[in-house]
Amino acid sequence: MSLLVLTTGGSMDKTYCGKASDFIVGNPMSSPIFEHAHVTSPVRSVEICRKDSLALTDEDRESCRLECELSTETKIIITHGTDTMWKTAHSVNESAKRQKKTVVLCGAMMPAAFAHSDSQFNLGFATAAVQMLPPGAHVVMNGEIFSDPLKIYKDYDRNIFYAGEKDRNPNE
C-alpha cells in the first residue's frame, strides 16, 4: 500500500512558542509518528497549510480536494484540526467516491508533543481504516469511524465526536 498524507495543521501539530507564550501550529507530526512506529509502507507527505482548523478557508479545502484528485495514491489521510474536519471531509467526499479513492481525516484533542496525546492513536487508527474503508471521505476520532461528513458533531464538553441524526448545513 502506498499512502498519501496531507497535513493542514491543527492540534496534532501544535507546539509551545515561548516568545508568544502560546501554542502555535508547528511542523507536521505525522512523519515522526510514522517513523517512531516503524511503518514500512511508502508514505508521501504533502503540507497543504499550517493552520488551526477554524482558520481554514474554502481555498484550503479546495487545495485538499485537488491534491486528492491529482494524487496517484488511492489511500489518503488528511491530518486536520478537529473543529472543522467535517467540512473538509464533505468537500472531498464526492470527488473521492468518483475517483475510487479512500480519504480518512484524523486529528487530535491534544498536541502530539504531549505525553498523553491522542495523536498517535488517531493516526494509527486512520492508517488501518484507510486500508479497509470504501471510497469516499471518512473521519476517525476516539476509536470510531464516521462516514457521513454531514452527521459528524464534536462534543466540546466531553472532547469526543459523535454521529448526529440531523444533517449539518454545509455552509455553516
Cα separation, 45 vs 33, in Å, equals: 12
Write down the residue that cell numbers 466531553 correspond to: 158
Residue 22 marked ligand-binding: no
Interatomic CA distance for residues 168 and 151, integer angstroms: 6
Q: With the C-alpha atoms ordered 156, 10, 29, 88, is the resulting torsion angle positive or negative?
A: positive
75 vs 110: CA distance, rounded Å: 25
40 is in an annotated binding site: no
Strands 75-79 and 102-106: parallel
The pairing of beta strand 22-25 with beta strand 136-141: unpaired
83 is in an annotated binding site: yes
Residues near 130 by beta carbon (within 8 Å), at least 6 away in sequence: 3, 75, 76, 77, 102, 103, 104
> Residues at the annotated binding site?
53, 82-83
> Residues at the annotated binding site for substrate?
53, 82-83
